A and B are shown apart, each in its own frame.
Chain A
Amino acid sequence: MKVDIKEYAPGSESAWCPGCGNFGILRSVNKALVGLGLHPHQVLLVSGIGQSGKMPHYTTANVFNGLHGRPMPAAIGAKMANRELNVLVISGDGDGYGEGGNHFMHAMNRNPDLTYLVHNNQVYGLTKGQVSPTTDAGVTSKLNPEGAFHALRPLAVAVACDCSFVARGFAGEIDHLAQLIEQGVRHKGFALIEVLQPCVSFNKKNTYEWYQDRVYKLGETKYDPTDSAAAFQKALEWGDRIPIGVIYKHEREIFEDYVGVSQQTPLVRQSIDPLAVEKLFEAFT
């Protein structure tokens, strides 16, 4: 049965600011899921806390909106319990790169088959404008009067962690982003898609116009996303020109296969048989 975009109606009323970059990301996600032919009940959206964390509530799907910085481990747990679920993890620069930095690194290393969408607005939106790990150096906030010290380059971290799919989209390029999300979901392995997202309330520097003047599509250049050394360089490119598109891509064994869950029926459908434990008793006598 063909999927209708209407299936992805908002689950509840939005609490985002008018003009928020999140609206563009949400439209891209819905579009991608339709493009993938997935019905809402086949999708699990796992999110953390922040403006990004609310996103799953504004569409229709299975949702686990957990703790700040912790959507990734919750998503891995769910995926291990039922590897047939299409899991998208929705996070932000504060949630995913700050609070959840450790999980970010280890998830990429493990390479579970899920898609990680990081809304990067370079600011803490929900707590009113503090700097985030990706805030450009020198940008100030009430809590950071000296300004952000040095911006983290998460995509370079991802390439260094041998993340099997690294991409960047822009909330102002909805179709392009939707295409990236589709590719990310189709990719067998961990797909990181960072989304450049203007924050109309707190980020006065990185506005729609600022991004529009700088972003360019890698797909329209001769860039080869399979070359890790080139990818590392590309991941660091920031300033007058900012690349969007697939930065790095390669196939490697996924976590579920490595740990053998793939050879079995999804854990959630396996039966429970207490009597089977009997055979372990002998070793203790």
Chain B
Amino acid sequence: MVVDLNILIGGEAGQGVQSIGSVVARTMLRGGYEIFADQDFESRIRGGHSFTRVRVSGHPVASAIDPIDILVALNAETVEIHRKDLQPGGVIIYDGAKTGLKPQNSIIALDIPLETIAADTSGNVLMSNTVAAAATLGLLGYSFDVLADVLRQEYGRHGVKMVDDNIKAGQAGYDFGTVNRPAGFQLRLKEGKPSGKMLVTGHEALALGVLAAGCKFVAGYPMTPTTPILEFLASRGREFGLHVIQAEDEISAANMVVGAAYAGVRAMTGTSGGGFCLMVEALSLAGMTETPMVVVLGQRSGPSTGLPTRTEQGDLLFALHAGQGEFPRAILAPVDAEGAFWAAVKAFNLAEKYQTPVLIMTDHDLGNSSYLMTKPDLSKVVIDRGDILSDEEAEKAEDYRRYAFTKAGISPRAFPGQGKALVVADSDEHNERGHIVEAGEERVKMMDKRMRKNTGLAKEIEGPTIRRRENAKLNLIGWGSTAGAIAEAGGILETMGVNASVVQFNELWPFPAEAVTKVLGGANKNIVIENNYTGQLEKLIRSETGIAADARIHKYDGRAFTAEYIVNALKEEGLL
């Protein structure tokens, strides 16, 4: 049997939904399964309804699915909301005394006194999360030892007692699930050998990439969904010589980044659309002063404050055009955790090599979802800091020209204090030495110099990844975080006898027009799938290649695509 199991844990914010999900996911990971987990939560700290889904599979998965096999309901509302998705043969796990839920004949359920078990075994009701995770694994007949290992790792830093209490509570929950397993529940899952892969969110992977790339300075202002990047870097940065500042606002954060990069370190900020609005002037400043600046733009639903904790792809054209005037930039849009790691590495290289801003576009879905990823081969991380004067050169460069005219438009950098070279940078139009100019001819020469960098930059950008299928009549086209759902939709279509090629962009600017024309210029119907209202990638493809989409699938309810949703939408469009 092909394993593809969906476990949903739901409850109020603050009830431990995420920690149960995390323990279950990591226990499955240790047993060699593929995992995808996503988070759905409201913009509140307590109450409301939130859930996490852990998809456990025998094959690689990178998107969520709707049908539920195990529903862990920490409150009654969870059952009300998600019952419709419970598969035949699926089970609900709940604490009847706590939630007020009553057994129903038509539903397979395990009524388990989570808090009582936690209190009886460890004297700590907070352990009820561990009891719930363990009961879930007990129902599936999964190994308790693997769970115990995960608990040791998870709670080890809190001391021996914490680990022992969790294991005691876990054992009791596990036993309860095993002994009281409802007769109708047939699913069993055996652990295998660990794959050695990592379970990481998109933003954790990105942050690891930032560390590997040698970023030394991060300034930011908390904003969902990118705060976890800042927090991760703040907690681990010190040992890598990376300093993280929480600035007073995003304007300050972006200008700090430009200042730090000017002074010679790799520097970055992370924000969402609203914060990025405030950073736009500094982005243009980086373009004008030719300062390498990396910005992670984690999109969420807009306009304005929008749906603060939900996903969307509504900022692509904004990112492309953000900033007064014209200057070179690159936009990367990784499709999963592994992509996010390498996008970070590449972003710093491009930013420094071309001395211009680079944007990494993610969103809530990519950032907060957990993916499996093979440990990155760090020996493959190349640090290309571009053309920089050596200390000896800088010591002697008394006639240094920060914006020297060159064929490629790239002027060798020096840093203030590096030597005798004086580094003069200006947001005004300037001459080779960085001083203010007004004359038209000088302006044209400097503008041409800056824009010449686009030629080299364009060669660095990769075209979309293509999964071709024989005799395909459709191209399913997407960018960024939608990759998992679109790829899976392609697979489902194949089983239905409809072959569709999947074309996924993970780098968007400078636009890889030639490669795109090659793949989309044929007879296939081009269907652009985007998590927005207006079809921003579709517009971009059309403006850069003249190729118009034949159909489009949009979603803007703040939730990520699923493969099923895409297949249904194609049906509704009459495309199947």
> Which residues does A use to contact B, with CB under 8 Å?
11-12, 15, 40-42, 44, 46, 49, 54, 56-57, 60-67, 70, 72-82, 84-85, 102-103, 105-106, 259-261, 264-265, 267-268, 270, 272-278, 280-281, 283-285
In Å, the complex CA distance between A54 and B437 comes to 12
Q: A62-B416, A63-B434, A268-B265 are in contact. Are A274 and B212 (CB under 8 A)?
A: yes
Across the interface, name the chain B residue whose C-beta is closest to A285: B198
Chain A residues near B435 (CB-CB < 8 A): 11-12, 57
Q: Are B285 and A67 in contact (CB under 8 A)?
A: yes
Across the interface, name the chain A residue whose C-beta is closest to B291: A64
Q: A61-B422, A76-B256, A80-B260 are in contact. Are A274 and B381 (CB under 8 A)?
A: yes
Q: Are A65 and B263 in contact (CB under 8 A)?
A: no
Closest beta carbon of chain A to B462's beta carbon, Å: 21
In Å, the complex CA distance between A274 and B214 comes to 7
Q: Residue B436 contacts which of A46, A57, A85, A276 (CB distance < 8 angstroms)?
A: A57
Q: Are A272 and B383 in contact (CB under 8 A)?
A: yes
Q: Are A280 and B265 in contact (CB under 8 A)?
A: no
Asked if B202 is an interface residue, CB under 8 A from chain A, the answer is no
Chain B residues near A63 (CB-CB < 8 A): 422-426, 434
Q: A63-B434, A73-B253 are in contact. Are A41 and B264 (CB under 8 A)?
A: no
Q: Residue A277 contacts which of B208, B251, B416 (CB distance < 8 angstroms)?
A: B208
Chain B residues near A41 (CB-CB < 8 A): 416-417, 419-422
Q: Are B255 and A73 in contact (CB under 8 A)?
A: yes
A interface footprint on B250-267 (CB within 8 Å = 1, 0 otherwise) = 011111111111111111
Chain A residues near B267 (CB-CB < 8 A): 77, 81
In Å, the complex CA distance between A261 and B236 comes to 15
Closest beta carbon of chain A to B271's beta carbon, Å: 14
Most chain B beta-carbon contacts within 10 A, residue among A57, A76, A85, A268: A268
Across the interface, name the chain B residue whose C-beta is closest to A279: B239
In Å, the complex CA distance between A73 and B253 comes to 7
> Which residues does B use to contact A, with CB under 8 Å?
29-30, 153, 194, 196-200, 204, 208, 211-214, 216-217, 219, 236, 238, 240-241, 243, 245, 247-249, 251-267, 281-282, 285, 289, 345, 375-376, 378-379, 381, 383, 415-417, 419-428, 433-436
Q: A11-B435, A44-B417 are in contact. Are A74 and B241 (CB under 8 A)?
A: no
The secondary-structure label for the interface of chain A is helix
Q: A81-B263, A260-B238 are in contact. Are A66 and B212 (CB under 8 A)?
A: no
Q: Are B263 and A276 in contact (CB under 8 A)?
A: no
Q: Are B379 and A66 in contact (CB under 8 A)?
A: no
Which 10 pairs of residues, A with B, have the shortest CB-CB distance? A77-B259, A272-B214, A74-B259, A62-B416, A77-B256, A77-B260, A81-B263, A73-B255, A284-B198, A274-B381
Q: Are B262 and A64 in contact (CB under 8 A)?
A: yes
Q: Are B415 and A64 in contact (CB under 8 A)?
A: no
Chain B residues near A75 (CB-CB < 8 A): 259
Q: A12-B436, A270-B241 are in contact. Are A285 and B264 (CB under 8 A)?
A: no
Closest beta carbon of chain A to B565's beta carbon, Å: 29
Q: Are A277 and B211 in contact (CB under 8 A)?
A: yes
Across the interface, name the chain B residue whose C-beta is closest to A42: B417
Q: A63-B425, A64-B425, A274-B378 are in contact. Are A70 and B282 (CB under 8 A)?
A: yes
For the A-B complex with A70-B251, A73-B251, A82-B416 known, give 5 more contacts whose Cβ atoms are closer than 8 Å: A41-B420, A41-B421, A74-B258, A275-B378, A277-B212
Q: Are A267 and B285 in contact (CB under 8 A)?
A: no
Q: Are A78 and B253 in contact (CB under 8 A)?
A: no
Q: Residue A268 contacts which of B253, B263, B379, B434 (CB distance < 8 angstroms)?
A: B263
Closest beta carbon of chain A to B446's beta carbon, Å: 15
In Å, the complex CA distance between A204 and B335 comes to 61
Q: Residue A74 contacts which of B153, B248, B255 (CB distance < 8 angstroms)?
A: B255
In Å, the complex CA distance between A64 and B289 comes to 9
Q: Are A49 and B427 in contact (CB under 8 A)?
A: yes
Q: Residue A284 contacts which of B200, B285, B422, B434 (CB distance < 8 angstroms)?
A: B200
Closest beta carbon of chain A to B184's beta carbon, Å: 35
Closest beta carbon of chain A to B236's beta carbon, Å: 6
In Å, the complex CA distance between A63 and B247 comes to 23
Across the interface, name the chain B residue whose C-beta is closest to A275: B378
In Å, the complex CA distance between A270 and B243 comes to 12
Q: Are A267 and B216 in contact (CB under 8 A)?
A: yes
Q: Residue A62 contacts which of B204, B381, B383, B424 (CB distance < 8 angstroms)?
A: B424
Q: Residue B262 contacts which of A12, A74, A102, A105 (CB distance < 8 angstroms)?
A: A74
Most chain A beta-carbon contacts within 10 A, residue among B243, B263, B423: B263
Q: Are B241 and A85 in contact (CB under 8 A)?
A: no
Query: Could you show 20 A-B contacts with beta carbons less than 8 Å apart?
Result: A11-B435, A15-B436, A40-B422, A41-B421, A44-B416, A49-B427, A64-B425, A65-B425, A67-B255, A70-B282, A77-B217, A77-B267, A81-B260, A81-B265, A82-B265, A85-B417, A264-B241, A268-B265, A274-B378, A274-B381
Chain B residues near A56 (CB-CB < 8 A): 424
Q: Are A274 and B256 in contact (CB under 8 A)?
A: no
Q: Are B238 and A278 in contact (CB under 8 A)?
A: no
Q: Are B289 and A66 in contact (CB under 8 A)?
A: yes
Closest beta carbon of chain A to B323's beta carbon, Å: 12
Closest beta carbon of chain B to A82's beta carbon, Å: 5
Q: Residue B256 contacts which of A62, A80, A84, A102 (CB distance < 8 angstroms)?
A: A80
Across the interface, name the chain B residue whose C-beta is closest to A259: B243
Most chain B beta-carbon contacts within 10 A, residue among A84, A102, A265: A102
Q: Are B417 and A84 in contact (CB under 8 A)?
A: yes
Chain B residues near A285 (CB-CB < 8 A): 29-30, 194, 196-199, 375
Closest beta carbon of chain B to A80's beta carbon, Å: 6
Across the interface, name the chain B residue whose C-beta is closest to A276: B240
Q: A61-B422, A67-B255, A281-B198 are in contact. Are A78 and B416 (CB under 8 A)?
A: yes
Q: Are A284 and B216 in contact (CB under 8 A)?
A: no
Chain B residues near A268 (CB-CB < 8 A): 216, 263-265, 415, 417
Chain B residues near A84 (CB-CB < 8 A): 417
Chain A residues near B421 (CB-CB < 8 A): 41
In Å, the complex CA distance between A103 and B212 comes to 31
Most chain B beta-carbon contacts within 10 A, residue among A102, A261, A272: A272
Across the interface, name the chain A residue whose C-beta is closest to B383: A272
Q: A54-B436, A67-B427, A267-B217 are in contact. Are A77 and B258 (CB under 8 A)?
A: yes
Chain B residues near A15 (CB-CB < 8 A): 436
Chain B residues near A54 (CB-CB < 8 A): 436
In Å, the complex CA distance between A2 and B289 comes to 33
